[in-house]
Amino acid sequence: MSSDVETLLRAPTAYALARKAIAAMELHKVWPTPVNFEIWIHYVGNKDGPLAAEIDQLLGAGEAFTDTVGEQLAAKYLPKAKLNGEILDAGDALAQELDSVSRAIESARETSEAYGQQLATASASLETEDATAIKAMVETLTTATQRVQSENKTLETQLADTTAEVTRLREHLELVRRDAMTDGLTHLANRKAFDEALERACADAEAEGEALTLAVLDIDHFKSFNDTWGHQTGDQVIRYVASVIGRAGRSPRLAARYGGEEFALIFPGEAAETAMAVLEDIREEVSSRVLKRRSTNEDLGAITISSGLAERKAGEAASSLVERADAALYASKRGGRNRTTAAETAAAQAA
């Protein structure tokens, strides 16, 4: 799929293809962000491909093409986005290999040292014997021992150097991985980091029998805000909201940009009541400040957010927890926005 579209983009038909993609995005009210533009270029360039089929199914069901949907499709179908995920997966595998090498090196060093000590002990004990043959064997063994010990010293130096290099590589890999797991706009954890953290948190909660609460948060009327003020100002608002959420999401909690103007907070070991209080503090802080447009100093007005939260049930999978938190968020939206709703409340309202 990608190679055919890449060929079209390097031919005289490229401009017509680009205009066609823009027209399709405008028709379906999709913002022409770089990610969305690349998705829709592939959509109009290969209408028989799996990406086009999934978009057609989504549009046919009347669903909105949100930033979150775009990011998910990019990760699934676009070559660069898929490669980024594959690099991260390869990094995980390499990190495990480096750990294994470090353990093997340390084990070899300890074994070598113990071997030298055993030979030295054997040599000392044999020196007490008077037999000529044994004494000759002792001298031979002593010489061999000294040679092995010398070689061991050289080996230990080499192993120490190798261990230091492995440690340096591991630290560098961790820095690269941290960058790849961080959202560039907000500096919060990105979607991949969130997915992995939630899976771990669910497994830990199940193993330890502890509470776990998930919250999803969304900026109210953000599309209308972007229509009025533009994407750069929209990014300013996203960064501001992210800064408030990030302060509340310090470890062991995790704050993430879930996609577009939507965020998530993981509360390991904390029940819904605690998370509710934190979310209300976030909501009140966000709405209390009147933002100004940086370029013109115009008042942007107050920004509000809606939130939904769900406390994990015993045996519940991460995907189910996300669904219940999302349902609670939509209940907040239906209830008038600028509020926080628990999953139990949302379920009762839907019943």
Residue 113 annotated in active site: no
Cα–chain center distance at 276: 24
**Which of 347, 263, 276 shows the shortest CA–CA distance to 305?**
263
Residue 72's contacts (CB-CB under 8 Å, 6 or more residues apart) are: 259
Helix (H) or strand (E) holding 268: strand 262-268
Residue type, 231: H
Helix (H) or strand (E) holding 14: helix 14-27
User: Which residue of the set 261, 262, 270, 311 is catalytic?
Assistant: 261
Residue 92's contacts (CB-CB under 8 Å, 6 or more residues apart) are: 177
Residue 343's contacts (CB-CB under 8 Å, 6 or more residues apart) are: 272, 308, 309, 310, 311, 324, 325, 327, 328
- CB contact at 8 A, 350 and 342: no
Helix (H) or strand (E) holding 318: helix 318-334
For the chain, the farthest-separated pair of C-alpha atoms sits apart, in whole angstroms, at 102
Cis peptide before 268 (omega within 30 of 0): no
Instruction: List Cα–Cα distances, 88 to 26, 101, 121, 320, in angstroms.
Output: 34, 20, 50, 25
Helix (H) or strand (E) holding 146: helix 132-180
The catalytic residue positions are 261
